[in-house]
Amino acid sequence: MDYIQESDFTVLEEGFTARGLIEKIINDASQTEERDAFLVGDMEEVVKKHLHFLKTLPRVKPFYAVKCNNFRPLVKLFAEMGTGFDCASKSEIELIKEIGVNPERIIYANPCKQISSIKFAANNGVQMMTFDNELELIKVSENHPKAKMVLRIATKDSKSSYCMNAKFGAPLNTCRHLLETAKNLNIEVIGVSFHVGSACSDPQLFAQSIEDAHLVFDIASEFQHKMTLLDIGGGFPGIMEAKISFEEIAAVVNSALDKYFPEGSAVDIIAEPGRYYVASAFTLAVNIIGKKIVQQDAPESHGERNDPCKSVFYYLNDGIYGTFSRLLFRRCQHKLILHKEPSPKQPLYMSSLWGPTCDPMDQIAEHLYLPELCIGDWLLYYNVGAYTVVASSTFNGFHPPHIHFAMSLQAWEDVHLLKRGFEQAENTKKN
């Protein structure tokens, strides 16, 4: 195991917080001309989320969704805490293997895989992988005959902000044929998976999907498939402002599992949380690198503090081709905080925020009423840990912001306790 080192993190002294680290970095940068955007990842937040997951969903083992945020120190932290990993590509499998994770802790959870990637998984001992159609089964039978397949079923995800089933998922009326095909191809099917969509707003979707999975388990038994795995996917909220809480979803999931897959049923339950763990753990600090004032002819006033005489364009050193990439899909819940607390008497101006590239689509926000800011001022964005830098590019030659990882001493101790507990459990299984 390539253990995490203190050098991977800034280990915070008692009483010092991740926000304090942000302030220190800003103060240091403000003494120079290099006021580059940067991220701070609060790993204490991740550790707390993990402990809460284990307590709230005690029968469910998390397989962290690497696609959500693949920074190496972060995935090493998950490896130390004993999670599994949901990988979607050859590169993600390579990353997890490189940090010393046993391939039994990896599920290749992409229902559509390139043949060379299937062979790579086979050659590296990764056996669990998903499918949702007959042609995928044929590909796997020809290139990874020892695979342990997981049938991904379609769900009703219309109440999620990011629907998955338009692309993936086998309708229930096709499952019998797929299970029979797998049997004829001599391919082992070990379980069922589903995904209710990201930012799910109705916990009952989990209950319905678990019930549907139970039905597929019954069908699989007709073809002598030994079903031992249920993968309940992701869709768990990662921020306080979510429409429903993680606890509400957990209550529904626990009830449905007790009904359809009770303890003693010899079925392992896993999930693929991503944004749940990391969305709220990362904060972005961006600097105002440019400013343009536009005089208004005959504007309307919208409140006592709002000054209608001008609007202001602010240009930042990160944008939609970087950390704000999710704005392209209007799926972004980043929370803006002004670094300098404004006076309640300052007038507010209609403002827009723009990224650093030459593309006019690189707009972060518009129609904001802000006090007048200056070139060199900082803005902070919370909740930027999920699907941000991983989806960024180097368009116009701009690179993703540097990342600082922080961890409290208490979190550091919690990780080592989790590590020892995981190792003891693994040794018990071997013996």
Query: 206: which DSSP letter?
Result: H
What CATH number should be reported for the domain whose range is 44-278? 3.20.20.10
**Known catalytic membership, residue 309:** no
Task: Look at residues 333, 315, 318, 332 and name the one whose alpha carbon lies nearest to residue 393.
Answer: 318
Q: Can you tell me the distance from the alpha carbon of 168 to that of 228, in angstroms, rounded to the nearest whole number?
A: 22
What 3-state DSSP class applies to 420? helix
Nearest CA-CA partner of 263 in 251, 273, 254: 254
Buried-state track 17-52, b at ≥16 Cβ within 10 A, e below 16: ebeebbeebbeebeeeeebebbbbbbbbbbbbbbee
Distance of alpha carbon 50 from its chain centroid, rounded?
A: 13
User: What's the pLDDT at 326?
Assistant: 80
Residue 3: its pLDDT value, please?
A: 46
CA 262/CA 58 separation, integer angstroms: 13
pLDDT at 305: 62
CATH 2.40.37.10 fits 6-40+280-407, yes or no: yes
In terms of residues, how long is the chain? 431
Amino acid at site 337: I
Rg of the chain over Cα atoms, rounded to whole angstroms, equals: 24
pLDDT per residue as tens, the chain (431 positions) = 344 555 677 888 877 889 999 999 999 998 888 899 999 999 999 999 999 999 999 999 999 999 999 999 999 999 999 999 999 999 999 999 999 999 999 999 999 999 999 999 999 999 999 999 999 999 999 999 999 999 999 988 666 666 677 789 999 999 999 999 999 999 999 999 999 987 777 899 999 999 999 999 999 999 999 999 999 999 899 888 888 899 999 999 999 999 999 999 999 999 999 999 999 999 999 999 999 999 876 555 555 566 667 899 999 999 999 999 887 665 556 788 888 877 778 889 999 999 999 999 999 999 999 999 999 999 999 999 999 999 999 999 999 999 999 999 899 999 999 999 988 888 887 76
Rama region for 228: left / alpha / beta (φ>0; ψ in -120 to 50; rest): alpha
Take residue 201 and report the two structure tokens written for it.
């707003």
DSSP 157-195: -TTEEE--TTTS-B-HHHHHHHHHHHHHTT-EEEEEE--
* Cα 69–chain centre separation: 6
Give the C-alpha separation, 131 to 143, whole Å: 14
pLDDT tens for 335-375 read 888 888 777 788 899 999 999 999 999 999 999 999 999 99
Q: What share of the chain is helix, strand, coil (3-state, %, to 5)?
A: 35, 25, 40
- Of 87, 112, 358, 374, the catalytic one is 358
DSSP 201: S
Q: Is 389 left (phi over 0), alpha (psi -120 to 50) or beta?
A: alpha
Q: Is 255 exposed, middle or buried (0-12, 13-18, 19+ CB in 10 A)?
A: middle
The Cα–Cα gap between 420 and 414 comes to 10
DSSP symbol at 297: S
**Model's pTM, two decimal places?**
0.92
Task: Supply the pLDDT for residue 192.
Answer: 98
DSSP of 17-65, one letter per residue?
-HHHHHHHHHHHHTTSS----EEEEEHHHHHHHHHHHHHHSTTEEEEEE
Question: In the prediction, which pLDDT does 2 show?
Answer: 41
Give start-end residues of each CATH 3.20.20.10 domain in the chain. 44-278
For residue range 48-76, list pLDDT tens digits in order: 999 999 999 999 999 999 999 999 999 99
Q: Write out the residue limits of the CATH 2.40.37.10 domain(s) in the chain.
A: 6-40+280-407
